[in-house]
Structure 1
Amino acid sequence: MTPHTADRPFVDTLQVVFKVAERCNIDCDYCYYFNMGDTRALARPPVVDPDRAEAVGQWIAQGCQDLGIEKVLVSFHGGEPMLLKPRIFDRICASLRAAIEPHASLGFAIQTNGTILSPAWLEAFSRHRVHVGVSIDGDRLAHDRHRLDKRGRSTFAKTRHNLERLVAWSAGERGLGPSTISVLDWRNDLCGIYRGFREMGIREMSFLLPDRSRDDGFTGEDETAAAYGQQLADVFEAWLKEDDASVFVRQIDRTLARFRLGGPMRSETVQIVVVQSDGSIALNDSYIPALSWYRKLPQTSVDDTPLRDHLTLVRALEAKAGLHRLPSRCEGCAWASLCRGGDVENRYSRDGGFDNPSAYCEGYQVFYARVRDLLVANGYPQEVFETRLEGAA
């Protein structure tokens, strides 16, 4: 493996979020990519050209050689990535494998809204062992609060039906999924949603806080940060009650990682790179809620900027903005070592930049306190919890 130096950033796993489609067939009102003020995606090609994808593969392969990266995950995103024809998707996967696999292990994932699925798609997923993630917010009521089509109609029936087909297709093989991503809404019953997913056979889930910056605030009297923290706590309680450690909930796994017994854990260094349909390279686009900062960032291309140079630029930009620095107002907080200020986009304000507590600060406190209480009530030693919490700082 290539040794890392100042100009060779150390990366265990390179995750490439590949925007193979820059359009969508539905219109989720909370979508950060299309509905938070950044319209640049509409100026890029609606779908990636296979030749452009081949160039992306060569760029990744060269980056693996330059930096000694041994593991790559290409995650196909959009827009809606399944607006591609399945034969084009198959061709893109084949070209990426031909370029990257001689230099690194390669995995594929796709994140879809679940409204499009055909036998040809399932064949392509099987051929290239693609892990399929489906965006679904829960039951019909929860899902249709935000995830409607462009004519304002429900997308729930199609999404649920195709999710059930994917469960049957994967036959319980974890590497294929399907997994789910659900965006929280303070009005939803998260315990019921968790149970509903489990009844469908879903074993991998993620529950996301809605995208917002500090400037956005909350929409009404009942929508509060604490309400979202309680929802995360509800998911944790439902997961704990089921008592099946094979069920993976991303937010729970990240929280409990600090408290697992059995010795220290080495955290994996995962570097996310976003490549758009025209081959331009962007900083992590989950930062879009910090739009007044995000839209000023320079964009490079796979044609003119090697991965090594891009990562050097990214780390300089993130350091300058203080993205990975604990906000000054968080110092001394009992939970600071767990949340580290939360997702950086939720800390942003036009006046204070990223040096703010998360918009969800109160919610994190509710969640972590409930996790502590439930762990201790179920026999986890409180003194070990407190020691691990202090040691995680």
Structure 2
Amino acid sequence: MFNATTSVVLQPTTLCNLDCRYCYLPLRRRNLTMSTEVARAVAASIEPWTRAQAVEVCWHGGEPLAMGRARLGALFDCFAGLDVAHGVQTNGVLVDDGWCRFFTERNVHVGVSIDGTRADTAARVDRAGKPVYDRIVRGIRKLKEHGLDVSIIAVVSDPTPAHARRLYEFAAGAGVASLGVNVEEQEGVNAASNAHDMNTVTSFWAALAHAWQANPVVPVRELSRALGYVDFVLRDGADGEAEGLAGGVDPLPTVGYDGSVTLISPELAGFSSPRFGDFACGNVLRSSLDDLIRSGTDSAWVAEYSAGLSACRDSCAYFEFCGGGQPANRYFEQGRFDGTQTNYCRNSKIALLEGVLRGVGRNGVAAGADSRE
């Protein structure tokens, strides 16, 4: 069921210095941190992977920078000598010259979470409920002053065409290297409904595609995926291999602060259910990631998810693009893993593809796809 993987997500701390309205993390107020023993175990597990190609190691919290440079640096040091590409996803509030030197010296790719304009970033607040927009923007500027490329990821709670235009204009004006867009999801401790009018969400993606086409200076992650799929179909025909989704599932092992490993959906880390218990498939302190990925196929919840994928494949015209959606969205929206279409599917897959087809003409599709090469 699982594809080979060259990526791993590490959660070095559960603590976050912010209290964003839509956050899904259950332990963000607790300071539970990863030990070097866990990091060394991960490094030992991925060492065989690095013999074939570089492995992406994504540090994602919590807020990784809340650990401080010395402690996070000690975890990074566990991977010394391995062919890995480190990436950090941060809220940007703590970024200063010291952190910029840290990222430069260690060749770290930096992603910053910000939702666009000041008004659109209003849900990002600190523990006192104060807006952090100015602090995030200051962090982005500091990173750019040090010559670092910055990717941003935005959470969009009101996916309207006007919001799409504002968001792309913000990204272009900030001079970021890329933009990722997550329509707010109902998952984890965020129980807010993510149901939206389908035509409105489709128009959001169409407007984003149009804005990018008019000024293609910032690659947009979701548009690149959709354009790549459309280009694949136009050139070669859909045969189930586009994006490598329909042929299998990326395990994307996520290692928690304590070494527990959750597969496929990082958003399931730290959660359990009455039917399945803990979603973790084991602990890297006791088993290698390869062994955990192999045994994870036998997990009861993974088996239920596999049944859901089969149902999607049989019933959904968008399966070859979507690949069947994410298990966390199924579970937190529907309470099970073998359901089919979710609000996440409608907002971030179906509406995305339809919006791109609406917002970019045939010539634009070809040009957009070629620009990725």
- TM-score normalised to structure 2 length: 0.81
- The DSSP-based 3-state class of the residue aligned with 2:154 is strand
Distance 2:336 2:32 in 1: 36
2:72 aligns with: 89
Larger radius of gyration: 1
1:15 aligns with: 7
Matches within 5 A, 1:50-199: 50-61=36-47, 64=49, 70-98=53-81, 101=82, 105-144=83-122, 146-170=123-147, 176-186=148-158, 189-199=163-173
Distance 2:341 2:225 in 1: 19
User: Which residue identity does 1:24 align to in structure 2?
Assistant: C
Distance 1:361 1:92 in 2: 36
2:212 is equivalent to residue 232 of structure 1: no
Distance 2:277 2:20 in 1: 22
The alpha-carbon deviation at position 379 of structure 1 amounts to: 6.3
* Farther off after superposition, 291-300 or 336-345: 291-300
Distance 1:368 1:187 in 2: 15
User: Which residue identity does 1:255 align to in structure 2?
Assistant: A
- Structure 2's unaligned 5+ residue stretches are 367-373
User: Which residue identity does 2:130 align to in structure 1?
Assistant: R
Matches within 5 A, 1:342-353: 342-348=325-331, 349-350=333-334, 353=337
The alpha-carbon deviation at position 333 of structure 1 amounts to: 4.2
2:268 is equivalent to residue 297 of structure 1: no
> 1:209 is matched with which residue: 177, 180, 183?
183
- The DSSP-based 3-state class of the residue aligned with 1:239 is helix
2:258 is equivalent to residue 278 of structure 1: yes
> 1:30 is matched with which residue: 22, 44, 66?
22
Distance 1:10 1:343 in 2: 15
Q: Deviations over 1:95-150 (max 9, x none)?
A: 2123xx1xxx2100000011001222111111110000000011111111x21111
2:367 is equivalent to residue 367 of structure 1: no
Q: Is the Cα–Cα contact under 8 Å of residues 186 and 231 in structure 1 kept in the other structure? A: no
Q: Is the Cα–Cα contact under 8 Å of residues 80 and 113 in structure 1 kept in the other structure? A: yes
The alpha-carbon deviation at position 59 of structure 1 amounts to: 3.3
* Farther off after superposition, 228-237 or 307-316: 228-237
- The DSSP-based 3-state class of the residue aligned with 1:260 is helix
Distance 1:294 1:192 in 2: 42
Q: Is the Cα–Cα contact under 8 Å of residues 15 and 270 in structure 1 kept in the other structure? A: no
- Specify whether residues 329 and 74 from structure 1 end up closer, same or farther in structure 2 by C-alpha distance, changes over 3 A only: closer
- The DSSP-based 3-state class of the residue aligned with 1:248 is coil
- Structure 1's unaligned 5+ residue stretches are 1-5, 171-175, 382-393
Distance 2:252 2:119 in 1: 33
- The DSSP-based 3-state class of the residue aligned with 2:223 is helix
Distance 2:250 2:345 in 1: 25
- TM-score normalised to structure 1 length: 0.77
Distance 1:133 1:209 in 2: 17
Distance 2:261 2:40 in 1: 15
- Specify whether residues 182 and 166 from structure 1 end up closer, same or farther in structure 2 by C-alpha distance, changes over 3 A only: same
- The DSSP-based 3-state class of the residue aligned with 1:353 is coil
Q: Is the Cα–Cα contact under 8 Å of residues 287 and 294 in structure 1 kept in the other structure? A: no
- Specify whether residues 342 and 74 from structure 1 end up closer, same or farther in structure 2 by C-alpha distance, changes over 3 A only: same
Distance 1:79 1:124 in 2: 19
* Farther off after superposition, 349-358 or 70-79: 349-358
Distance 2:57 2:132 in 1: 27
- Specify whether residues 217 and 80 from structure 1 end up closer, same or farther in structure 2 by C-alpha distance, changes over 3 A only: closer
* Farther off after superposition, 160-169 or 291-300: 291-300
- The DSSP-based 3-state class of the residue aligned with 2:361 is helix
2:369 aligns with: none
The alpha-carbon deviation at position 271 of structure 1 amounts to: 4.1
- Specify whether residues 266 and 129 from structure 1 end up closer, same or farther in structure 2 by C-alpha distance, changes over 3 A only: farther
- Specify whether residues 379 and 10 from structure 1 end up closer, same or farther in structure 2 by C-alpha distance, changes over 3 A only: closer
2:289 is equivalent to residue 307 of structure 1: yes
**RMSD across aligned positions (CA):** 3.4
Q: Deviations over 1:24-72 (max 9, x none)?
A: 11111211113xxxx5x777x62223344233322332x538xx65331
Q: Is the Cα–Cα contact under 8 Å of residues 281 and 292 in structure 2 kept in the other structure? A: no
User: Which residue identity does 1:356 align to in structure 2?
Assistant: T
The alpha-carbon deviation at position 330 of structure 1 amounts to: 6.9
Q: Is the Cα–Cα contact under 8 Å of residues 254 and 269 in structure 2 kept in the other structure? A: no
Distance 1:127 1:195 in 2: 31
User: Which residue identity does 1:64 align to in structure 2?
Assistant: W
Q: Is the Cα–Cα contact under 8 Å of residues 341 and 358 in structure 1 kept in the other structure? A: no
1:357 aligns with: 341
